[in-house]
Homo-oligomer: A and B are copies of this chain.
């Protein structure tokens, strides 16, 4: 049953169909359940449809509760060597995802006991269900890593902003307090300062004296400058982290491609930084004869069918294709279709030439294959007799 459960709730990169359906049902339940909890706070929102909504809410809660139990069982079936099933379940229950899953079903447990959860609690737990979606979005985890990594410059930027906010509010307090009740105290002025520095500008608190407006203009322009610091720190950290994650995952995939085995570690590291990972589903057309070719492909897993003038043949993991258009700068000479689910590594035209310029061994292998294929297709031009 562990395997069946793993197929259902496990995090395999190629989930079986039942897991895909299960995920879809779960996501729909979570989204609708959260939506009900949110709309529930609107007075008279459900007039006339109270019953179906309550029924739907109960159903969603039941599904989420069942999911929690399944995941507990799954955790037990995945227990490590020498670990008791209870310990494994506790480990899941205390992990962030386990806690999110639990929070989502609290109303079920408490409600069952004696319907003693006040309405507010229901609202909160209903909305917290949204967190269950985090499981399917690695972005939050990435953001967490970035925030931790860039904590010092981020705090520095926030400290600068805090000093600006305190200074601006003190100045405006003295400039406006006599005539403007909105600046009657420094904390009141600070609300204005933060809203202005963040360039939100509600307009509920606005300086009215000429001096206040002059100072306010300076603060608005400063806000515009300060803006850049946390935003750009986070933005560059985020893109840096995504590149790093991509490098590491590609790096480990490269070793699965026999073709790269002949490369030295440092060359693999270089090419791993250039390759991009892509997936293709069965039947997907990867390139079409006559198109402009802008990249070549390496197959990590799966099979593709190549249909060109030289006939039709099958390529499988370790093979590459699409190199002729890069070397010859001609349109694609064949149409390539995935005949099973494929993992592919893509090498851009620019990166291809950047890499082969320094690595003649690799180029020659690609060249030999390309020439053999072109000869087969009766397509050898004069130029490729003198390889680069």
Interface of A toward B, CB cutoff 8 Å: 34, 37-39, 41-43, 45, 120, 123-124, 127, 130-131, 133-134, 137-140, 142-143, 153, 155-161, 163, 166, 170, 173-174, 184-188, 190-191, 194-196, 198-204, 206, 210, 213, 216-217, 220-221, 223-225, 227-236, 238-239, 242, 244, 247-248, 251-252, 255, 264-270, 273, 292, 294, 327, 329, 348-350, 352-354, 356-357, 363, 388
Contacts and interface: CB of A to CB of B under 8 A. Distances in A.
A139 B166 contact: no
A153 B127 contact: no
Given A186-B123, A266-B388, A220 B232 contact: no
Contact of A221 (B161, B232, B294): B161
Contact of A200 (B153, B196, B204): B196
Contact of A160 (B45, B140, B191, B294): B140
Contacts of A388: 264-266
A35 to B, nearest CB: 10
A210 B187 contact: yes
Contact of A248 (B133, B202, B227, B349): B349
B349 A153 contact: no
A159 B186 contact: no
A315 B113 CA distance: 57
29 contacts: A41-B185, A42-B187, A43-B184, A120-B174, A130-B163, A130-B166, A139-B156, A139-B159, A191-B216, A194-B221, A195-B201, A198-B220, A198-B224, A200-B220, A201-B202, A203-B203, A228-B234, A228-B235, A247-B350, A255-B329, A264-B388, A265-B353, A265-B356, A266-B353, A267-B357, A268-B353, A269-B350, A269-B353, A270-B354
Given A38-B187, A156-B142, A234-B228, A199 B202 contact: no
Contacts of A232: 228, 231-232, 235-236, 238-239
Contacts of A131: 163
Contacts of A124: 170
Given A142-B156, A229-B235, A247-B349, 12 more contacts: A38-B186, A38-B187, A42-B187, A43-B185, A123-B186, A133-B159, A137-B156, A195-B220, A198-B223, A224-B230, A225-B234, A228-B235
Contacts of A247: 349-350
Contacts of A155: 137, 139
Contact of A354 (B187, B225, B269): B269
Most chain B CB neighbours (cut-off 10 Å) among A210, A230, A356? A230
Most chain B CB neighbours (cut-off 10 Å) among A131, A138, A195? A195
A223 B197 CA distance: 12
Nearest to A242: B153
Most chain B CB neighbours (cut-off 10 Å) among A194, A216, A236? A194
Contacts of A363: 266
Contact of A201 (B123, B200, B268): B200
Given A198-B224, A267-B357, A354-B269, A143 B160 contact: yes
A56 to B, nearest CB: 18
Contact of A41 (B123, B134, B186): B186
